[in-house]
Amino acid sequence: MVPLWSVSLVFGLAVVAALMRHQYELGAHGGFFPIAGVLAVAGCMAENSCISWYRYYSYSPDWGLFLGYVPLHVVLIWPLFILGEHQYLRRLLPLGSLGLRACFCFVDTVLLANLVEIYCVSAGLWSWRESNCLGVPLMGPIGWALFATPAVLLLAVQERATRMGRTHRSRILAIPLVCMVVLHVGLWSLWNSVGKHLSNWSFSPSFEAAGICAVQLCYEWAARSKASQGLALQKEVPRLLACGIVAALWLLKGTPDPGICLVSLASLLRLLAFRLA
């Protein structure tokens, strides 16, 4: 039987998806549902391949509904995560180069993914074979970024092409394959260069929180220097709601560990990038 929290999560994700469909401009990508479907397929392929090839993490059977090794909920989350990041960056860097967008996307994804990882591992939703801090290895959030960044860049390229009158959507259909290649080549390269050494390094939540604060402040400075206009916080309502749902899962199923609270406070510096109105 599927647990109540699992059903509630699907409902919460549906609300987030409805908000994104209403608020986000996705005409260049064929509308919300077509691009969300492609991103869901990409996420399902990427996660199933990672779990089956590396056996570095696994999901709890409590999720109830699975597509291969991956819960259906997680497959549904990936389109929301990537589209949210794409919309944020198109407002922050409307004229920025793809290289600059890739850098911002990678850092932003690692920061957000780290918080989600900590909450979900504490809640017992999935577990890692190794850990650097609070049950999460550094390679976890980095894997998120290796997958999400090429997807966001392809969405940006497609949007620019559409504005120039080129409506061919082959780039969108290429997302699953391109993301798979970048993800696995990136993971293999990082693991064989520094990953093996990092896996033996453990650090305290206070050290992680200090590192997050430093990165957040540098990110904030860079964002303010590159942004063409201030970012309104209300534009982030779908992503804020999604983060709130994950935090609620942690409070419901996890343990309110002081270390997690400390890392959460450090991560809230992210809100400095936005104005209230």
Kindly give the confidence (pLDDT) of every residue in the chain, 277 residues in length, as a single tens digit, with 9 standing for 90 and above. Answer: 778 888 889 999 999 999 998 888 776 556 888 999 999 999 999 999 999 999 999 999 999 889 999 999 999 999 999 999 999 998 888 766 889 999 999 999 999 999 999 999 999 999 999 999 999 999 999 999 999 999 999 999 888 877 776 666 677 889 999 999 999 999 999 999 988 888 889 999 999 999 999 999 998 888 878 765 667 777 888 999 999 999 999 999 988 889 999 999 999 888 777 665 5
| pLDDT score of 147 | 98
| pLDDT score of 172 | 86
Q: E strands along 47-170, which residues? A: 57-59, 66-67, 70-71, 126-128
| pLDDT score of 31 | 80
Cβ atoms of 152 and 86 closer than 8 Å: yes
Q: Sort 57 into a burial class: Cβ within 10 Å, 0-12 / 13-18 / 19+.
A: buried
| pLDDT score of 29 | 58
Reduced to 3 states, what is the DSSP secondary structure of residue 22? helix
